Amino acid sequence: MRITTVGLDADDTLWHNEGIFRLTQDRFVALMAHLADPQDLMAKLRDVEKRNLRLYGYGVKGFTLSMIETAMELTGNEAPSRLIAEILAAGREMLTHPVEPLPGVEQALADLAQDYRLVLITKGDLLHQEQKLAASGLGELFVAVEIVSEKDAGTYERVFARHGAGAARAAMCGNSMRSDILPALEAGAYAAYVPYELVWEHEVADAPENHPRFTELSSLAELPAWLRALT
């Protein structure tokens, strides 16, 4: 069966992202060094982030609010205004950080766009994700952009029905096993996992074993050949 639609994740699939979060976490640890042990602080921040996902969703703004909430809890709601200002400044810098596409991405997308409908499927803040796509220079290669609150099987079923011939004739590619691969396979699509050197622990999951519609690639540049071999 010929693949007609290819979904692609954005952060850490098309451009660098997690490294920016790690740098900001290091900055947060330095700001809070007089209040908490680094390991305890990061454990607390992870707990707060997880708790807030259903309220704030994914992205820089939710992460910034979680840092502020962590600081407030660790200071008994008496965090100095200067500390809050520093956290807000760190969040603003993340929002304005230059977008750096990964090596080979533009050529791979240009190749794919010749034969498939490309759909960007990403989580995160609507405005920020739109800004990053515009800054990347890759926007014209996509026929559609779907910025969703969560990636589950139902999401992929709806997106691939809306922008193609359904999940059975679609493939998803991304760096998150939890969000990009497993739910896409559950929806009936093909899925290509392209690992990134840094992974947010919330996105970690075990790879499927011997799944006929799954593959792991070393880079996005290998995706066009794999898709064409399926036909």
This prediction's pTM: 0.89
Q: How many Å apart are CA 157 and CA 79, to the nearest integer?
A: 45
What value does the mean pLDDT of the chain take? 93
- Percent of the chain whose pLDDT exceeds 90: 82
**Residue 204, number of CB atoms within 10 A of its CB:** 10
Cα–Cα distance for residue pair 94/20, rounded to 1 Å: 7
Min mean pLDDT across 35-44, 50-59, 170-179, 193-202 is at 193-202
**Tell me: the pLDDT tens digits for 152-165?**
999 999 999 999 99
Distance between CA atoms of residues 49 and 45, nearest Å: 6
Cβ distance 90 to 27 under 8 Å?
Answer: yes
Q: Would you kindly state where each structural domain of the chain is located, as residue ranges?
A: 5-16+100-230, 18-95
Q: Identify the band that residue 199 occupies on the pLDDT scale cut at 50, 70 and 90.
A: confident
Pick the CATH number of 5-16+100-230 from 2.40.30.10, 3.40.50.300, 3.60.21.10, 3.40.50.1000: 3.40.50.1000
18-95, superfamily in CATH?
A: Putative phosphatase; domain 2 (1.10.150.240)
Is residue 116 predicted with pLDDT exceeding 90? yes
- Residue 97 is given by DSSP the state P
Write the single-letter amino acid at 80.
P
CB 160 within 8 A of CB 170: yes
Better-scored residue on pLDDT, 119 or 35: 119
pLDDT at residue 1 is higher than 70: no
